[in-house]
A and B are shown apart, each in its own frame.
Chain A
Amino acid sequence: MRVSRIKAITKKELIQIGRDPLSLAMAFIMPVMLLLIFGYAITLDVNNIRTVVYDSDNSSLSREFVNEFKRSGYFTIVNNITDNRDIDKYLDSGMAQVAIVIPEDFSRKLKGSKNGDAMIIVDGSDSNTATIALGYISAISEIYSQKTKGIKITPLIEPRIRVWYNSELKSRNFIIPGLIAVIMAVIAALLTSLTVAREWERGTMEQLISTPVKSPELITGKLIPYFMIGFIDVLMSVFMAVFLFEVPLKGNFFLLMGLSSIFLFGGLSLGILISIVAKSQLVASQISMVATFLPAFLLSGFMYAISNMPAALQTVTYIIPARYFVSILKGIFLKGSSLKLLTFETFLLMLFGVTVFAIANRKFKKRIA
């Protein structure tokens, strides 16, 4: 390997990147945009549940029951209806997600020392929201139930629950470290997946392969400039996470950057491999969407817990590097994990990077056919 050749290629790529400011801008905007969306726009917390009330009893007791829901802050009463059939209308159209149905003998039963009845209908289509809503409903009902009995009954078994690592259960702290993994995976692919295919399409690759340049020199030369961009992206993301979103960084910053670099190396090499195999930019773009974005987003454990997936899919996640990087990120940010705890993941990421690099080298042929 000659350094002079690698240098020549790196320099050329840098010049070309510099002459395409639009792409460069997008490479920096993308992480910022994603972080802002996940940090500010999106939340898993459920509140503002639209509720419609059908109260046939209309007593002070029934009104108080409905009030408990309002007071919790989670439910927003959109209407009080008088016709049974309107329930369908509201739920079908999505105008309400919950319907509280109170029969006319509600207060009578309660006063007569019998158990009162109420029915609550929940729109189950969004099961996540529904599950959480049901949780709220049962808690609120319990509170009201105790109130009607007039005494505060202390439960026989009191669960003392402590939450570790993310004690305020801020969904943001949970999401953002993993998000960095997704961002890096996508960026890496976007940066490099077109670079080789582009040269084939423009004809410059034919000239290049008639020269003594070797395949590892070409690949390394192309990796370096995109690595630099990717590294800046990681830095930017970490800074935003820590300073803008106040996600705690309990572990070592340098360890974080070091392991991110390993991941970056793998992601970029994968992009180059796609570029080599695809030969056309259109094909490359489609492949990279499936091979990098999807797995990073869905199968890395970033948003959807891997343990909830069917066994077959869980096995697949073992070969997805983003999975290990997500663990590493969550570990370093939230648990303060040291390298010792992360050796397994680190080793796998290195293995991935080296393997993909090697495959890319083998696949790159200095021939036209």
Chain B
Amino acid sequence: MEENNITVRVEGLTRRFGSFTAVDNINLKIKKGEIFGFLGPNGSGKSTTIKMLCGLLLPSNGKGFVGGYDIMKESEEIKKNIGYMSQKFSLYDDLTVEENIDFFSGIYSVLNNKKKERKEWVLEMAGLKDRRDAITKTLPGGFKQRLALGCAILHEPPIIFLDEPTSGVDPISRRNFWNLIYEMSKAGITIFVTTHYMDEADYCNRLSLIYRGKVIAEGTPREMKEKYMTKDILEIETERFVEAMESLNLKGIETAIFGGLLHSTVDNADRSIPEIKKILGELNIKVMRVEKIVPSLEDVFVKLIEVS
């Protein structure tokens, strides 16, 4: 009994490895055509969840349905209707680009009359048209990822699972990759992505934040920022920022380092800005800038983790 638009549904999904609970009672509902992001630090249970949804791992508890099929009992049906890209690069290193594509075409039983068309499409999409004879091992990281994505969607599945597809890839390639994902989403394909890059979270339609196996927040990126941030965020640019951070924290102003800058969480920006300037001024720390910013998801996340 599926609501018409829900392609992936998960209730109370749990997975234990011995005494360690990797995934703890997760509930999810994903709509058709959505780009759904599963965010969390390493070891939070993202990969384990994806593997259960793809039928690669059996859950210890709970239920799940992908494309209407039960992940416990109908995993083979699921595999016909999904594309999966694993975290570790898992195409054949010793095969050429074209050979890899041909292989997965055969495996997914792509119809003979569509084989060539799909192959060319993937080559185009991955930017490998003139590298079809290159041995896969020799490709740079970004190209490998795109090839892997291409091979996963040769059979035009309605649902795709991508496990950290952009890890270790340069920012420009990452951006390009996400453009591809947008295209696919527009075409109605449901995309489930896991990532630990917070900036990529903004690209998703909806998110779930996972930490230590539990979902600690969910919603659209905007909802997350609005719902969970009740306080203001101030960004401070200063020299000797480590010292500055420590001093501010001592004075009761929650401050953390973000890159070479500081982010302080305060109740009221207008009151706190002069206060901070004063504190740092007394310590003779030069302040270049203090201003209120829109909280990023990273801020949200850090906050939520501290709370939990």
A–B contact with Cβ pairs below 8 Å: the answer is yes
Interface residues of A (CB under 8 A from B): 2, 4-5, 7-9, 11-12, 15-16, 19-20, 202-204, 206-214, 366-369
Q: How far is the CB of B61 from chain A (nearest CB, A)?
A: 15
Closest residue of A by beta carbon distance from B111: A4
In the bound assembly, the distance between CA atoms of A5 and B105 in angstroms comes to: 9
Contact among B56, B103, B105, B109 with A210 in the assembled complex (CB-CB below 8 Å): B56
Q: Say yes or no for B84: interface residue by CB 8 A criterion.
A: yes
Query: Which residues of B are found within 8 Å of A368, using beta-carbon distances?
Result: 51, 56-57
9 further A-B contacts with Cβ under 8 Å, apart from A2-B109, A212-B109, are A8-B104, A11-B103, A12-B99, A204-B92, A207-B91, A366-B75, A367-B75, A368-B57, A369-B58
A202 touches B93 (CB 8 A): yes
Contact among A5, A9, A11, A204 with B90 in the assembled complex (CB-CB below 8 Å): A204
Query: Which residues of A are found within 8 Å of B92, using beta-carbon distances?
Result: 12, 16, 204
Known: A12-B92, A16-B94, A204-B91. A209 touches B106 (CB 8 A): no
In the bound assembly, the distance between CA atoms of A298 and B94 in angstroms comes to: 38
A212 touches B108 (CB 8 A): yes
Q: How far is the CB of A365 from chain B (nearest CB, A)?
A: 10
B88 touches A8 (CB 8 A): no
Query: Which residues of B are found within 8 Å of A2, using beta-carbon distances?
Result: 109
Q: How far is the CB of A176 from chain B (nearest CB, A)?
A: 37
Known: A8-B102, A11-B106. A211 touches B79 (CB 8 A): yes
Contact among A9, A15, A210 with B95 in the assembled complex (CB-CB below 8 Å): A15
Contact among A7, A202, A206, A214 with B106 in the assembled complex (CB-CB below 8 Å): A7
A206 touches B58 (CB 8 A): no
Question: Top 5 nearest A-B pairs by Cβ distance?
Answer: A8-B106, A210-B84, A207-B90, A203-B90, A212-B80
In the bound assembly, the distance between CA atoms of A202 and B76 in angstroms comes to: 23
B107 touches A210 (CB 8 A): no
Query: Which residues of B are found within 8 Å of A214, using beta-carbon distances?
Result: 76
Query: Which residues of A are found within 8 Å of B102, using beta-carbon distances?
Result: 8, 11
A207 touches B106 (CB 8 A): no
In the bound assembly, the distance between CA atoms of A305 and B181 in angstroms comes to: 68
Q: Say yes or no for B14: interface residue by CB 8 A criterion.
A: no
Interface residues of B in 182-235 (CB under 8 A from A): none
In the bound assembly, the distance between CA atoms of A367 and B71 in angstroms comes to: 12
Known: A4-B106, A4-B109. A210 touches B55 (CB 8 A): yes
Known: A12-B99, A19-B94. A211 touches B55 (CB 8 A): no
Q: How far is the CB of B301 from chain A (nearest CB, A)?
A: 28
Query: Which residues of A are found within 8 Å of B109, using beta-carbon distances?
Result: 2, 4-5, 212
In the bound assembly, the distance between CA atoms of A368 and B86 in angstroms comes to: 13
B84 touches A207 (CB 8 A): yes
Query: Which residues of A are found within 8 Å of B79, using beta-carbon distances?
Result: 210-212, 366
Query: Which residues of A are found within 8 Å of B105, using beta-carbon distances?
Result: 8
Query: Which residues of B are found within 8 Å of A213, using beta-carbon distances?
Result: 107
Known: A203-B86, A210-B56, A366-B75. A5 touches B106 (CB 8 A): yes
Q: How far is the CB of B9 from chain A (nearest CB, A)?
A: 20
14 contacts between A and B (CB under 8 A): A9-B103, A11-B102, A11-B103, A11-B106, A15-B99, A16-B94, A203-B86, A203-B89, A210-B55, A211-B104, A367-B58, A368-B56, A368-B57, A369-B57
Binary flags per residue of B37-80, CB closer than 8 Å to A gives 1, else 0: 00000000000000100111110000000000000000110011
Known: A11-B103, A12-B92, A15-B95. A367 touches B56 (CB 8 A): yes
Closest residue of B by beta carbon distance from A207: B90
Known: A12-B95, A15-B95, A366-B75. A210 touches B106 (CB 8 A): no
Closest residue of B by beta carbon distance from A209: B56
Closest residue of B by beta carbon distance from A2: B109
Closest residue of B by beta carbon distance from A20: B94
Q: How far is the CB of A275 from chain B (nearest CB, A)?
A: 17
Q: How far is the CB of A10 from chain B (nearest CB, A)?
A: 9
Contact among B86, B90, B103 with A12 in the assembled complex (CB-CB below 8 Å): B103
Q: Say yes or no for B82: interface residue by CB 8 A criterion.
A: yes
In the bound assembly, the distance between CA atoms of A148 and B51 in angstroms comes to: 92
In the bound assembly, the distance between CA atoms of A4 and B54 in angstroms comes to: 23
Scoring A15, A208, A211 by chain B CB atoms within 10 A of each residue's CB, the highest score goes to A211
Contact among A12, A203, A211 with B108 in the assembled complex (CB-CB below 8 Å): A211
In the bound assembly, the distance between CA atoms of A367 and B53 in angstroms comes to: 12
Query: Which residues of A are found within 8 Å of B106, using beta-carbon distances?
Result: 4-5, 7-9, 11
A203 touches B88 (CB 8 A): yes
Interface residues of B in 237-278 (CB under 8 A from A): none
Query: Which residues of B are found within 8 Å of A206, using beta-carbon distances?
Result: 56, 86, 88, 90
Query: Which residues of A are found within 8 Å of B89, using beta-carbon distances?
Result: 203
Closest residue of A by beta carbon distance from B50: A210
Known: A16-B94, A202-B93. A367 touches B103 (CB 8 A): no
In the bound assembly, the distance between CA atoms of A103 and B103 in angstroms comes to: 84
Query: Which residues of B are found within 8 Å of A211, using beta-carbon distances?
Result: 79, 84, 104, 107-108
In the bound assembly, the distance between CA atoms of A209 and B80 in angstroms comes to: 11
Query: Which residues of B are found within 8 Å of A367, using beta-carbon distances?
Result: 55-58, 75
Query: Which residues of B are found within 8 Å of A12, using beta-carbon distances?
Result: 92, 95, 99, 103
In the bound assembly, the distance between CA atoms of A31 and B93 in angstroms comes to: 30
Query: Which residues of A are found within 8 Å of B86, using beta-carbon distances?
Result: 203, 206-207, 210
